[in-house]
Amino acid sequence: MNAATATKALKVAGYLRVSTDEQARDGLSLDAQDARIRGYCVARGWQLVRLERDEGKTGKNLDRPGMQSLLSNLDGIDVVVVSKLDRLTRSMRDLSTLVDERFNGVALASLSESFDSSTASGKLSMNLFGTIAQWEGEVISERTAEALAHKKANGQHCGRIPFGFAIGDDGKLHENPEQMAIIVAMKRMHGRGASVRTIAAKHGVCKTTAHKIVTTDMRVIRSQGVK
């Protein structure tokens, strides 16, 4: 930091993000990021003003509620802290936009990469790590696309597993007997006049799932699985 800010306790806004497929991986959970940022601020004697979170959001763009909340209120903030640069963004273009334009003079510090963008060397490190983060993201996207194409070519299921089914050893959707029995019970309750809210609460599913089940013909539901 510069001499003007070095003599006072810096005010920090922390940012945390995890994408849907990262939530179960060690060290990437929101709680793990939260603990790292809080610990770092205590060690540095910095004042953590607030933490913004984005759960289940991609780092490929900035269209995230937590990110927009962060950017809309940086008044009085000296530095934005992230546990790792790719938590902020995986796009080199977005990184440059954030630091050069949207942060409006607020510094950026990343714990994993150990840099502080308020210095020339820190900004160089940031650009290098930003390029690496973008490359890693592109590699992951390519591998994911290849894996999905392979599964589709082999007739295997891709995407969310619908209620009532499970993935078999062949990679295809097979009926889950227990959940199918629940579907039948839900439809029976609906036929007797029960509300979607009541049905959802009774069987421990969200209202969206309950509504889709009770309004979809059983033959259509069963057609999703292996014949």
Identify whether the C-beta of residue 66 lies closer than 8 Å to the C-beta of residue 137.
no
Per DSSP, the three-state class of 53 is: strand
Residues forming the active site: 19
C-alpha distances in angstroms, 223 versus 79, 175, 212? 54, 10, 15
Task: Give rounded-to-5 percent helix, strand, coil for the chain.
Answer: 50, 15, 35
Strands 173-175 and 165-167: antiparallel
Rounded Cα distance between 157 and 165, Å, is 11
Alpha helices in 61-195 (DSSP H): 65-72, 85-88, 92-97, 120-153, 177-191
Rounded Cα distance between 219 and 126, Å, is 55
Identify whether the C-beta of residue 77 lies closer than 8 Å to the C-beta of residue 91.
no
